[in-house]
Amino acid sequence: VGGKRNWVMAVIVGLVWSCAFPPVNCLPVAWLTPALLLGVTCAPPKRAFRLGLVAGLAHYFSSLSWLLYIPVSPGNIAGWLALSGYCSFYPALWAAFCWRLFPGDREKPINEAIQELQFSRRCAWGLACALGWMALECLRGWVITGFPWNYLGASQLEFTRLAQLASFTGVLGVSLVVAWMSVGGLLLFWRCQKEKEFQIQWLTELAGPLVLLLVAVVLGSVELSKPLPEKTGEMKIALVQPSIPQMVLWDLGNENAQRDRFTQLMDLSDQAGEKEP
């Protein structure tokens, strides 16, 4: 895999990945993302890392662009660049990890190398790739206080039966299902490339992830079918919305204005307290 085309494709994959999250919120894109990333980084581990880094930069620069709306320049720009650059190392590490583990002949075209692999080795590699994705998301959520933003599983909120899996495994379990299905689909695609006619037994490439998806959907259906808890009482609450414009919120130079805002909020809290929440 060589040439400038791959670097352009890596950027496109990163931008497509962002479409799985707000403001686009295209749910099916998440199921394609690991496969697209794995396909575009099909290369020796070092090159796969660089291609994954480019895809990661494209994804995080676009999906974290909301940071630029914070009206504190140049701090917002510096934060956007630093955070996006840091997060981009995770897809880069994933790509390098997957292609380091690849058990096939690296000298042959990928569809031939996949075709020659034993079924068990293909399945094991696909599962390892999915587990690697989940593990790196988990790591991103903990390292340096963590930044668990835009996990792959978080894009499946509207797929309610699958999203219920999070009540058992957390969002990382949903990410595992999506990633494994995606990689399994890519393995099936590579096998189809080598043959002229589709063979039904090729669907065994998806056996593992399909079973996991089925279990997740069944668990989700059971969870959704449970009756809501009976109403046992009422709770009266009061909310005070500060509604402070960000330009004012970040203005630390005017102490009198800050004192006035604090006094106003305390007055609102007192008024809310009179309602006996």
The region, left, alpha or beta by phi > 0 then psi within -120 to 50, assigned to residue 73 is beta
Give the CB-side neighbour count of residue 103, counting CA atoms within 13 A. 15
| pTM reported for the whole predicted model | 0.85
75-101 and 119-140 helices cross at what angle (nearest 10)? 160
Structure tokens at 214: 């089925």
Q: Give the DSSP letter string of 71-94.
A: S-TTHHHHHHHHHHHHHHHHHHHH
Structure tokens at 222: 């059971």
Helices (H) and strands (E) in the chain, counts: 12, 0
- Gap between the Cα atoms of 171 and 152, Å rounded: 8
Instruction: Enter the DSSP assignment of 152.
Output: G
Nearest residue to 236 (alpha-carbon basis) of 182, 276, 176, 178: 276
pLDDT tens track of the chain, all 277 residues?
A: 456 889 999 999 999 999 999 999 999 999 999 999 999 999 999 999 999 999 999 999 999 999 888 777 787 899 999 999 999 999 999 999 999 999 988 888 898 898 888 989 999 999 999 999 999 999 999 998 899 999 999 999 999 999 999 999 999 999 999 999 999 999 999 988 877 676 777 788 889 999 999 999 999 999 998 888 887 777 778 877 777 766 666 666 667 777 787 888 888 888 878 777 6
Give residue limits of the domains in the chain: 4-225, 234-277
Nearest residue to 247 (alpha-carbon basis) of 69, 81, 74, 79: 69
Q: Can you tell me whether residue 103 is helix, strand or coil?
A: coil
Structure tokens at 57: 């930069």
Give the CB-side neighbour count of residue 132, counting CA atoms within 13 A. 22
- The CA-to-CA distance between both ends of the chain, in Å, stands at 65
Structure tokens at 257: 């204005």
Contact 182, 32 (CB under 8 A): yes
Structure tokens at 182: 């995606």
Could you tell me which residues come within 8 angstroms of residue 216 by beta carbon, excluding any fewer than 6 positions away? 161, 162, 165, 173, 174, 177
Distance of CA 167 to the CA centre of its chain: 18
Residue 54 buriedness (CB in 10 A; 0-12 / 13-18 / 19+) = buried
Percent of the chain whose pLDDT exceeds 90: 61
pLDDT tens per residue across span 211-253: 999 999 999 999 998 888 887 777 778 877 777 766 666 666 6
